C-alpha cells in the first residue's frame, strides 16, 4: 500500500509506493527536491522527517547533517510522513525534455578533462537555468549527470566539462573517443543549483575541479544580464593544469575588474611549479573570509570538499539558507552529478 508524504508548511502531498525512496516518489510526482548522486553520498537530499515511520535514510552523505535529518534518496516511508526538506518547488510541467544532441567538438582542456560541445538539431532549443545539469541517457539504461557550463542564453546546445574518472565506463572509455557528428541522448534540465536573486548579498563561489562548470554558467549568465553583485571565486585543483578555465576568468575580469579570483592548489609537489595559494580550499576560506554571514555561498565539487566548505562557513556564522551546493560523486561507474 502506498504512503502519503506531505511537505511541512504546505498543501503539497505525494504518494510513495513500497520500495520507492522518498526522493524518487517526490520527483515522480513533479516535486523538485535537492539531490545529486541518488547514492547516499553527496548529502544534497538531506531533509528532516518530522513525523511518521521511515526506514533507511543514512549514509556517507549524513556527515554534517543537522539533527533529525535523513537522506531522502535512501529513506523509505513505512507509513504516512511529514517532511521538511531544505528547499522544494513544483516542477514546471513540460520543462524537462529528452533530446538527441550531436557532438560539435571534443577538446582536452586538461590531462583528464574534456570540453564537450553538443549541438541540438536545427531549430531545437532547451530551456535551463544557469547552474543546472543534464543526464546523458546511455543505451544500457545508465545515466551520467553533467552540469551545463554554457550560459542559458546559448540554448541551441550545451557545453559539458567532463572529468575522466579513472576506470569510468563512460567518462574514460567513451568520452575521449567521441567525434564530431556522434550522437548522445540527453535529458534536461535537472537540479536546483541556481542563483537566488531575491537578495543582493555579495557572492562567494567555491569550485573544486570540474565543479567549475555550473559556476561558469552562472557567472556567464550574470555578466550577460548585467547582474551587479560582488563576485569572489575560489577554485581548488590538485595541480595547476586542473585550472583549465583561466582564459574564461581573465575575460570576466576584463569586464568586471573587481571580480576576485583565488586559485588554490592542493598538491605540494604540483607541476608546473606553483607560486600561488596552496592547501585545501576550505582552509583558504578559513584564512581569508572574516564574515561569512554577509555572503551567499555557492559551492560545487566533490562531496568531501563541499562538506568541508559548508562546515567551515556555517561554523563561523553563515546561515544554512545562504549556502547552496551541488556535489558530484565519482566512481568506476562514472556516477556524477
Which chain residues interact with ligand FES by CB under 6 A? 35-38, 40-45, 61, 71, 73
Measured from the Cβ of residue 241, the count of other Cβ atoms closer than 10 Å reads 16
Closest separation between CB of residue 191 and ligand FES, Å?
Answer: 10
Closest separation between CB of residue 145 and ligand FES, Å?
Answer: 11
Nearer to ligand FES among residue 65 and residue 223 (C-beta):
65
Closest separation between CB of residue 219 and ligand FES, Å?
Answer: 25
**What is the number of residues in the chain?**
337
Nearer to ligand FES among residue 55 and residue 183 (C-beta):
55
Nearer to ligand FES among residue 41 and residue 99 (C-beta):
41
**CB of 229 within 8 A of CB of 201?**
yes
Nearer to ligand FES among residue 209 and residue 292 (C-beta):
209
Cα–Cα distance for residue pair 35/37, rounded to 1 Å = 7
Closest separation between CB of residue 12 and ligand FES, Å?
Answer: 20
The residues with which 159 forms a beta bridge, in sequence order, are 117
Strand-strand pairing, 89-90 and 75-77: unpaired
- Choose among 25, 60, 39: nearest CA to 144: 39
Nearer to ligand FES among residue 112 and residue 135 (C-beta):
135
**CB of 84 within 8 A of CB of 7?**
yes
Closest separation between CB of residue 34 and ligand FES, Å?
Answer: 8
Closest separation between CB of residue 83 and ligand FES, Å?
Answer: 14
Angle at 187 between CA 183 and CA 191, to 5 degrees: 140
Nearer to ligand FES among residue 45 and residue 109 (C-beta):
45
Using Cβ positions, the residue closest to ligand FES within the complex turns out to be 73
Q: Rounded to whole angstroms, what are the CA distances from 243 to 23, 118, 248?
A: 34, 22, 11
**CB of 78 within 8 A of CB of 68?**
no
Amino acid at each position: 500500500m502506498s504512503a502519503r508524504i506531505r511537505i511541512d508548511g504546505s498543501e503539497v502531498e505525494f504518494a510513495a509506493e513500497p520500495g520507492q525512496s522518498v526522493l524518487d516518489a517526490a520527483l515522480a510526482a513533479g516535486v523538485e527536491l535537492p539531490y545529486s548522486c541518488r547514492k547516499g553520498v553527496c548529502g544534497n537530499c538531506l531533509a528532516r522527517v518530522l513525523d511518521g515511520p521511515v526506514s533507511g535514510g543514512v549514509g556517507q552523505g549524513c556527515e554534517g547533517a543537522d539533527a533529525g535529518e535523513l537522506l531522502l534518496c535512501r529513506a523509505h516511508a513505512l507509513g504516512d510522513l511529514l517532511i521538511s526538506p531544505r528547499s522544494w518547488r513544483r516542477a514546471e510541467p513540460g520543462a524537462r525534455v529528452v533530446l538527441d544532441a550531436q557532438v560539435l567538438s571534443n577538446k582536452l582542456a586538461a590531462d583528464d578533462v574534456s570540453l564537450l560541445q553538443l549541438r541540438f538539431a536545427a531549430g531545437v532549443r532547451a530551456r535551463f537555468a544557469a547552474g543546472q545539469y543534464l543526464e546523458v541517457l546511455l543505451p544500457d539504461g545508465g545515466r551520467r549527470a553533467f552540469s551545463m557550463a554554457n550560459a542559458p542564453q546559448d540554448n541551441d546546445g550545451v557545453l559539458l566539462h567532463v572529468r575522466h574518472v579513472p576506470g569510468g565506463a563512460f567518462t574514460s572509455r567513451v568520452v575521449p573517443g567521441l567525434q564530431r557528428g556522434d550522437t548522445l541522448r540527453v535529458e534536461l534540465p535537472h537540479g536546483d543549483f541556481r542563483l537566488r536573486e531575491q537578495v543582493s548579498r555579495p557572492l562567494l563561489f567555491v569550485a573544486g575541479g570540474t565543479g567549475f562548470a555550473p559556476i561558469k554558467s552562472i557567472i556567464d549568465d550574470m555578466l550577460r544580464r548585467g547582474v551587479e553583485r560582488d563576485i569572489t571565486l575560489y577554485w581548488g585543483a590538485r595541480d595547476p593544469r586542473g585550472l583549465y578555465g583561466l582564459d574564461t576568468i581573465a575575460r570576466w575580469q576584463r569586464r568586471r575588474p573587481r571580480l576576485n579570483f583565488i586559485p588554490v592548489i592542493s598538491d605540494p609537489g604540483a607541476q608546473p611549479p606553483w607560486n600561488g595559494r596552496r592547501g585545501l580550499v576550505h582552509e583558504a576560506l578559513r584564512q581569508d573570509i572574516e564574515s561569512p554571514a554577509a555572503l551567499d555561498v555557492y559551492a560545487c565539487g566533490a562531496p568531501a570538499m563541499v562538506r568541508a566548505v559548508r562546515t567551515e562557513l556555517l561554523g563561523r556564522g553563515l546561515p544554512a539558507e545562504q549556502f547552496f551546493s551541488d556535489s558530484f560523486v565519482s566512481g568506476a561507474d562514472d556516477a556524477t552529478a
